[in-house]
Structure 1
Amino acid sequence: METLKFKTNIKCGGCVATVTPHLNGLTELSKWEVDTNNPDKILTVETASVSDAGLIKETLKKAGFQAEEV
């Protein structure tokens, strides 16, 4: 498993609720969480491969959010 971290604009519980079905729909992810208390709103993802970073960014974009790998 690989752990990827992204700086996002997911700011609150409502935002997390919006992205939940999108991220839960990705079979490549085994676990994910967003630290909304962190000023950078860090999304931490456990995935099979680091090559999934583009897929995660695209999925968040479709949900209306931005992500930048850190």
Structure 2
Amino acid sequence: MPNIRSSADLRNNYNDISSYCHAYNEPVFITKNGKGSKLQEGLADIDAGNTRPFADVMADLRHRRERR
């Protein structure tokens, strides 16, 4: 599970977050205005298999663009 922290938390607990980053080999996501929930939703989609191949998405976008 990713470590998601707010920008206020970074400001108020910089040393703790810095120590965590040096101790563990995993990302820490810093959010602004609570935007981390979208990141969590995206990671949950990946875990659930709700994804599409990049080539399919690009083909769909090109097709939509051509219809205009």
TM-score (norm 2): 0.29
Would you tell me which structure has more strand in proportion to its own residues? Answer: 1
Structure of higher RCO (CA pairs closer than 8 Å, 6+ residues apart): 1
TM-score (norm 1): 0.28
Would you tell me which structure has more helix in proportion to its own residues? Answer: 2
